[in-house]
Amino acid sequence: MLEQELKFTVADRSVLDAVLASSHVQGLVIGDADPPAESFRGVYYDTPDLALQDKQCSLRARREGNRFRAALKMPGTIIDGLSVREEFEIDIRDWPTAVADLPDATFRSRVAAIIPAGSWLMPRIEVDMLRRVVHLAAGESRIELVLDEGEIHGGGRSVSLCEVELELIRGEVADVLALGGILENRFPLTRSTLSKHEIGLQLCEGADAAG
């Protein structure tokens, strides 16, 4: 599928709460207007020779409760202010240690097209987050509003992150951009084009430079 999202960093949870409670957002909500925060851990993998990083791809496993998911994200670009990239997801049984541990043959072949099928996978970046998700109707478009707070770890270093994401589920990019513009005008949001993986890579590269 094509992932299309607009990201903003914020100073702290109070801004996330204010965005969620705003009359504009609440007027667009479909379903639960005040969802509980759910914790998740994400681990980004690479080969010992960093083959995924070299090809600007990422392979992530995520645990949400008792469920594990794996995602392969391809090189991205910025179109009309949105981060756009191809993403493929599957259910998995546990944290993988090698490409062969990925159960879906089609997904495994996509990974093997980037790195050798026999490659070992090493955890490189870890993400620990509390996440709230609400679904919005903006015109004919459906948008997922994601409010994340937590930490990213890489290279023995860590950084805190509070983030607002607007992901287009279906419909028009213009509706995401319009909603993002309204929120930017009302709240102290800083637009960001960096994914959690890219932030983690910066931590790793900073650790390498310091070493």
Residues 6+ apart with CB under 8 A from 112: 99
Q: Tell me how far apart the alpha carbons of residues 51 and 46 are, in angstroms, rounded to a whole number.
A: 7
Q: Provide the 10 A C-beta neighbour count for residue 43.
A: 20
Q: How far apart are CA 152 and CA 150, in angstroms?
A: 7
Give me the pLDDT at residue 119, please.
86
Put simply, whether the predicted model's pTM sits higher than 0.85 gets the answer yes
Sign of the alpha-carbon torsion through 100, 105, 108, 114:
positive
Q: In a structure prediction context, what are the per-residue pLDDT tens digits for the chain, which is 211 residues long?
A: 899 999 999 999 999 999 999 999 999 999 999 999 999 999 999 999 999 999 999 999 999 888 999 999 999 898 777 899 999 999 999 999 999 999 999 999 999 999 977 889 999 999 999 999 999 999 899 999 999 999 999 999 999 999 999 999 999 999 999 999 999 999 999 999 899 999 999 999 986 666 5
Task: Decide: 163 and 7 in contact? Cβ < 8 Å.
Answer: yes
Q: Within 13 Å and on the Cβ side, how many CA atoms surround 13? A: 8
pLDDT score of 117: 73
pLDDT on residue 207:
63
DSSP 95-112: --SBGGG---HHHHHHHH
Helices (H) and strands (E) in the chain, counts: 6, 11
Torsion of the alpha carbons at 157, 65, 90 and 158, rounded to the nearest 10: -10
Total Cβ atoms within 10 A of residue 59: 24
Region at 56 (left for phi over 0; alpha for psi -120 to 50; beta for the rest): left
In this structure, CATH architecture of domain 2-210: Beta Barrel (2.40)
pLDDT at 209: 60
For residue 82, the one-letter residue type is L
